[in-house]
């Protein structure tokens, strides 16, 4: 399970997005659910990729190309 940094909702791994914000000499990365993407952007975060899933059969762990 992972938790959204903005609303606290918990979902299985692979459901949240990673968001990055650069401040003075520091990179902060948080997990954000789909409902909070705009709120994260408004807070200065750049939305990156979806977090990796947890199942062994997940394409992200098998080196499969990511659609997008």
pLDDT for the residue numbered 25: 85
pLDDT band at 61 (very low <50, low <70, confident <90, very high): very low
37-44 CB contacts, 8 Å cutoff, 24+ apart? 39/6, 40/5, 40/6, 43/6
13-59 pLDDT per residue, tens? 888 889 999 988 899 999 999 999 999 999 999 999 888 876 544 44
Q: Would you list the domain boundaries of the chain?
A: 2-52
CA distances from 9 to 17, 27, 59 (A): 13, 23, 24
Please state whether the predicted TM-score (pTM) of the whole model is above 0.75.
Answer: no
SS3 at position 23? strand
Of 53, 52, 51, 54, the residue nearest 20 (C-alpha): 51
Structure-token match 């903005």, residue found: 6
């Amino acid at each position: 399970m992972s938790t959204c940094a903005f609303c606290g909702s918990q979902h299985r791994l692979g459901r949240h997005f990673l968001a990055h914000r650069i401040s003075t000499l520091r990179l902060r990365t948080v997990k954000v659910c789909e409902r909070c993407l705009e709120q994260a952007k408004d807070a200065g975060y750049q939305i990156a990729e979806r977090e990796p899933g947890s199942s062994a059969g997940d394409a992200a762990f098998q080196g499969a190309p990511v659609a997008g």
